[in-house]
Structure 1
Amino acid sequence: MRHTPIYAALLGFGLLAQAPAGLAKNLVFCSEGSPGGFDTAQYTSATDNDAAEPIYNRLVEFERGATAVKPALAKSWEVSDDGLTYTFHLREGVKFHNNNKDFTPSRDFNADDVLFTFNRMLDRDHPFRKAYPTEFPYFVGMSLDKNIARIEKTAPMTVVFTLNSIDAAFVQNLAMSFAAVLSAEYAEQLMTSGRPSDINQKPIGTGPFVFQRYQKDSQIRYRGNKDYWDPSQVKIEQLIFSINTDPSVRIQKLRKNECQVTLHPRPADLDALKSDPKLQVIEKPGFNLGYIAYNVQHKPFDQLEVRQAMDMAVNKPAIVKAVYQEAGQLAVGSMPPTQWSYDDSIKDAGYNPQKARELLKAAGVKEGTEITLWAMPVQRPYNPNAKLMAEMLQADWGKVGLKVKIVSYEWGEYLKRTKDGEHDISLIGWTGDNGDPDNWLGTLYSCDAIGSNNYSMWCDPQYDALVKKAKTITDREQRTLLYQQAQQRLRQQLPITPIAHSTVNQPLSAKVVDFKVSPFGRNNFSGVSTE
C-alpha cells in the first residue's frame, strides 16, 4: 500500500537543543480548583487537564499558543490513500520519569506504551481496565471507541492505527489531553502490587515535569525533568500549582509575587491589573461558549415549546453586560464565530417574556412550577461569574411564572452529577480543544456524548447523522455544508441556550518569559521561564 507522508520531524525535532545554563528556581501558578486526579483520559475539565499537562506527552501535540499539530512522541507519521490507516514512527531515547520511591523504569518509551494507552480505552476487557474500572468520556464522546478498528505494533518503534471509517480530525484528536501516553511497565507493576488506581494519583509520564506530591485544595508540586527529550523546554526547577478557588485571593497573591501566573480574573479587576507595572495581561479572542443546558430527559424540558419559552425568557444582553462586562460577546450559535463552518445566518429569537409565558401555558406548565438551576462553583473564561448569572436567570424565569432553585456542588462533583443527568438545567460551557468543528458539534451535542459532555442528554437522529457524515469527509466545503445543517437543526430543537463568548485575559508577572496563551484554554509551562 502506498502511503503519503504528512509530517516528518526535522533533525530530530529538538533532540539537539541544549538545556539553558541556569534554570529559574521556581514558578508558582495560582490555579482555581483541585483536580480529581492525573489520569487525564478520565477527565474533561480544564482543571484536571492543566494538572496533568506538565507530566505527559502525546504522540502529537499542538504548538504552544497555536492550533497547528507538531510531532511529539511520534517523530513522523503517514496516512494511507484510503484515509483509514495511520502509521506513527516513534521517537527514540525518550525516558519515563524515575520516581525512585514509586517507579524506576527499566527501558525507554516504545510501542508497547502506545498500545497500553489506547487499548485500555478501546477494550472493555483489557486487564488493567478490569482491575481499575473507569470511563473515558472524550474517547467515547468522539466515537473513537467505535471507529478505531485495531492498534498494532509493527516494529518496536512503529504503531499502526486502523480506522473503520475516515475521521478528518483524527490527528488533531490525538493531540488532546486525553491521549497522554502512559507507561505500560508502570501499569504492569501497579497490577502486580494490587495498586492499579495509583495510575491516577501517582502519575508517571515522559513530560517536562515530574510529579512530586499533591495536597487537595492546597497545592501540587512538580520538578523539572532533567532527562527530558527536548531539554530546551525545561527552564524551571520547581513548578508549583497553588490552589485558590477565590479569584480575589489569586489576584492578591499575584500582586504580592506569591504566584507568577494566574487565570480567570474578574472583569471588574482588569483595569487595575493592566495598569500595574509589575504585571502583564495577555488578551486573546476567546475560542469558547458559555451556555444553558436543558436536560431534555427531565419534564417539562422534553417539550420543545418549553425550551423555546425558557430561551425567550432570558434577557441575554443584560446577562452579558453584568456577568462579562467589557469582555463578552453575545452568543447566537452553538460554537464560536471564529470556528470554521460557523453558520452566521442563525438568528436569536430575542427577549420576549410575554411570548414565553404563552408557550409555557400552552405546554401545560403551571404557574409556580419548581425547577432546579445548577450553577458552576468555579470561574471559566466562558463564564466568569456563574452565581450572578444564575441569580439573573432565576429572576428572568420567575417573571414567566417559574420557581427556580439554584443548586451548586464542588466542581468535580458538579461535573459528575450533571453528566449523570441529575440536573434540570445547568450552566456550563466549553473552550475548543482542537480547532475542528466536530469538537463542538460532536463532542457536546451528539448521542455518543451523553454521559460525557452532552449535558442536555439530547439525542436527535437527524442531527447525529449530519455530524457523523461530516467526520468521514476530508473536503472542507462539503464538511461545512453538513455542519451548517447540523447547526440549523440544533437551533431548531434548542437543547441549549447560547449566552456568550468571552475574551480571554491572562494575568501574569512581568518577569514571566515566553508564556503562550492556548486557544484551547490550557496552561502549559513548557519553555516558560522567569527573569
Structure 2
Amino acid sequence: MMYITAVISYIALFSAEMVNEFERGGHNMDFRKISRYVALAAMAAAMFAVVACGDDDSDSSAATVEESESLVPVTAQATVAAPAIAGSDDSSSDSDDSGSAAADADSGSDILMGGHLRYGGSTGFPPKWDHTQTSTWIALFHYGGRIWNGLLQFSPRDGVDIWNDMATDWSVSDDGLTYTFAIDPNLKEWHDGTAFDIDQIIYGYNRWKNPPEGIIQPRVGALVLIDSMEKQGSDLAITLKEPFGDFLAETANGWHLILPQHILEANNNTIPSADLMIGTGPMVYEDSEEGVSVTTVKNENYFRSDANGNAYPYLDKISTFTFADAEVEVAALRTQQLDAARLIENQFPGQQSIMDENPGEFTFSIEPMIDVASIQLNNTAAPFNDINARRAVFYGVNKQRIIDFNGKENPVNPISWFSNLFPSYDEIASYPGYNQDTRDADVAAAAGYAAEAGLTEFDLISVPFRVQDAELVAQDMMECCNVKVNITTQDWTTMVAAVEGRNYDAATGGTAPSYAGIIPVIDIMLAPGGGRNGGWDPPQNWQDTWGQAKKMQPGAERDALFAELERIQLEEWVPTLPYYGVVSNKSWWHYVNNMNNTAQELFSNNKMEDLWLSSNAPEAGGN
C-alpha cells in the first residue's frame, strides 16, 4: 500500500509543479526539476510493479547468526596488506573459519528470513549480460555474484580476507605452482537444472585464458599463467607456468565467476539476453526493465549454507535500480523507497544529511577506493610516442586544481600509478602537479619538454562525467606550453574501444582493480597485455622488475621492487598521467543487516548471501 501512496505522491508533486509553472505563463519552467519528479514517479511505479508481482506469502523463520552492526574500516593502510588466506602452516585452508557469516557468529542473534532488498546504484545499465566482457563493470552491481559463483570469494566484511565459494578447502604446493581446490559436494546443478561438473570450471577458466574470437576479456589477470587443470575426483588441481603470489586472490576475483558452458556454446559464446543468465549463485534472474532495474529471487536449491545449517540466501528477492539523476536516488533513499545505495556521485551532502537526521538508524560510509583516474596517453603513435611529450603533460597539468574543483560534492584523492597504495600520501603530494610550492618550476619544465618534443596540439577524448577535468587539462596545457587540446566527448564504452584499438591521442580513462593490491593494478593497467593497457610498452628494466615482483608473496622484498617500479615510471617511462582516485561511498538503513563498505566494494561485494532485513524494514520477511 505504501508504494501506491508513493506513486500518487510523486505524480502529485509533478502535477503541482506543472500547474504552478503554467500559471506563471510557462516561460521559466525548470525542466530539470520536473524531470526529477517524473523519474522519481517512474522509479516508484517500477518498485510497486516489482512488489505487486512478488509472492506475498513469504516464509518467515528464525536462525542464529551474527548481526554485524559495526563497520570494518577500509583505510589505505589496511588495503596495502595482501588478502589474508585462512589456513594452517601447510597453506591449507580451514573451511570452518571462512566463507560463512556464522563463522564469527553471535548465537544470540536472530535472523529474519525472507524479505525484499531494494538497492540503488550506478547511473548505468549493463550493456551486456556476459559480465566477463569489456566495459561491463556495471553488471557486477546488478547481478554479478548473485547469479554466479567463483572458486573463492572475498569477504563481504572487509573485501580482503578470502572465503569459500565453490571450493570448501584448498592447498598450495611447496613450489607455489599447483593449487588444489576441494569443490563443494553440494554443488550439483545450474539454475535450469542442468547437471554441474568440475569440467565446467575448467571450461570457464580456459575461456578466460583463450577467449573466443571477438570476445574481449580485459580482466583475465593471472589466469593466463595457467599451464594445466586436472579433475582429481572431487578436487580441481590447477598448475601454473610460473609462481604468482596473488593467485588465490585471482580465484576470488569478482570477475572470475564461472559461466555455463551449455548456454555459451548455444549462443555464439556469449549471453545475448537476461533470461539466459543461468548460474549456480544464491539468486535467480526474474525480471529486468531496460535502463531501470534488475530483479533476482532466491535460489531454492542453492548449495551453500551458514555454519548453523541455515540455507543461503536469507533474502527472498533483490531489486537493483539505476538512476539518471542522483538527486532522485538520494530522495528515494531518504524516503525508504530504497533500503541501500552505493556510488551516488556528487551527492555526498545529501547522504550525510540523512545520517545526521537519523542518528543510529542510517549509515553513510566513505572509504578510499583503489582507483586510477588518468589521462591515458597513446605511447604507440605521435605525439606521445615521444617521452618528452608525455613529460610535458605530466609536469604541465595542475592535478591539485582538478581535485579542488571536484570539491566536497565529489571528493577525490591524489594518487600515483599505484593509486593510493604506494608510495605514502606525503610522497605522492610532492609529485608534479600536486605540490603547489613547485608549480612555477613544474610549468617551466613542461614548457621545455613540449618544445623539445615539438608538441603543439593533441586530441583528448573525455567521458561526459569528466569533461570538467578535460577542460582544466586543456587550460593548463595552453597556459604552460601553448599546446592546443581538442576535446571530444564519448560515452565510456566508445572511449574504451578507441583506447583498446589505439585509435586515440589521449583519453580521460583509467580503471580500478578487482581487488585491493598493487599487483592487480599493475596487471590490468601497466603490464604488457593488461586489459586496460592503452598502448604503453614498459622499458626492459621495468619488465624485469615486474617479473620478479609478481612471483613473490607480500613482504619487504616485494615492496622494494614496487618502489623501483615507481621510480622507473616517474623518471624513465611516464606512460600516463594519473591524477586522482575516487572514494567508495555506500549508504544503508540499519534494518539492513550484515551490510559493509569493503575494499573494492564495487567489484567484490555483490553476492549478498547473508544480508537480511529486520522486522521494521518496509519489505521485511513475512510482511
Question: With structure 1 as the length reference, what TM-score do the two structures score?
Answer: 0.84
Alignment of 1:353 onto 2:443: yes
CA distance in 2, matches of 1:57, 1:233: 13
Aligned residue identity for 1:321: D
CA distance in 2, matches of 1:74, 1:88: 6
Aligned counterpart, 1:115: 202
Residue 368 (structure 2) aligned to one of 263, 285, 295: 285
Alignment of 1:405 onto 2:492: no
CA distance in 2, matches of 1:250, 1:424: 36
Alignment of 1:104 onto 2:177: no
Q: Which runs of 4+ in 1 moved over 4 A?
A: 11-21, 193-196, 326-330, 341-347
C-alpha distance 123-317 of structure 1, shift in aligned 2 (>3 A): closer
Aligned counterpart, 1:83: 176
Alpha carbons 1:74, 1:88 under 8 Å: kept: yes
| Secondary structure of 2:202's aligned partner | helix
C-alpha distance 159-363 of structure 1, shift in aligned 2 (>3 A): same
Q: How many correspondences in the alignment?
A: 496
CA distance in 2, matches of 1:86, 1:342: 34
Aligned counterpart, 1:484: 563
Query: Normalized per residue, which structure has more strand?
Result: 1
Q: CA RMSD in A?
A: 3.0
Alpha carbons 1:328, 1:500 under 8 Å: kept: no
Aligned counterpart, 1:217: 291
C-alpha distance 475-198 of structure 1, shift in aligned 2 (>3 A): closer
> 1:73 Cα shift?
0.6
Residue 473 (structure 1) aligned to one of 552, 561, 573: 552
Aligned counterpart, 1:207: 281
Equivalence map 1:448-527=2 (5 Å)? 448-449=529-530, 452-474=531-553, 476-492=555-571, 493-522=573-602, 523-524=605-606, 525-527=608-610
Alpha carbons 1:209, 1:223 under 8 Å: kept: yes
Consecutive unaligned residues of structure 2, counting only runs of 5 or more, are: 1-88, 306-310, 434-438, 618-623
**Rg larger for:** 2
Alpha carbons 2:378, 2:506 under 8 Å: kept: yes
C-alpha distance 510-391 of structure 1, shift in aligned 2 (>3 A): farther
Aligned residue identity for 2:372: L
Aligned counterpart, 2:226: 148
Alignment of 1:56 onto 2:148: yes
CA distance in 2, matches of 1:349, 1:196: 46
CA distance in 1, matches of 2:288, 2:543: 41
Aligned residue identity for 2:389: V
> 1:418 Cα shift?
2.3
Alpha carbons 2:527, 2:533 under 8 Å: kept: yes
C-alpha distance 74-28 of structure 1, shift in aligned 2 (>3 A): same
CA distance in 2, matches of 1:427, 1:12: 39
TM-superposition CA deviations, 1:200-219 (whole Å, max 9, x none): 74211111111223343222
Aligned counterpart, 2:124: 33
Alpha carbons 2:526, 2:533 under 8 Å: kept: yes
CA distance in 1, matches of 2:97, 2:366: 34
Alpha carbons 2:130, 2:270 under 8 Å: kept: no
> 1:257 Cα shift?
2.8
Aligned counterpart, 1:295: 378
Q: Which range moves more in the overlay, 5-14 or 210-219? A: 5-14
Aligned counterpart, 1:134: 215
Q: Once the two structures are aligned, what percentage of the paired residues are identical?
A: 18
TM-superposition CA deviations, 1:386-411 (whole Å, max 9, x none): 23222222222232322223223333
C-alpha distance 333-344 of structure 1, shift in aligned 2 (>3 A): farther
TM-superposition CA deviations, 1:71-128 (whole Å, max 9, x none): 2111111111111111111001124443xxxx332x3x3311211111223346xxxx
| Secondary structure of 1:235's aligned partner | coil
Q: Which range moves more in the overlay, 63-72 or 324-333? A: 324-333
> 1:138 Cα shift?
1.5
Aligned counterpart, 2:452: 362
Alpha carbons 1:265, 1:507 under 8 Å: kept: no
> 1:344 Cα shift?
6.9
Question: With structure 2 as the length reference, what TM-score do the two structures score?
Answer: 0.73
Alignment of 1:422 onto 2:512: no
C-alpha distance 12-178 of structure 1, shift in aligned 2 (>3 A): closer
Alpha carbons 1:343, 1:487 under 8 Å: kept: no
Residue 305 (structure 1) aligned to one of 388, 392, 398: 388
Aligned residue identity for 1:214: S
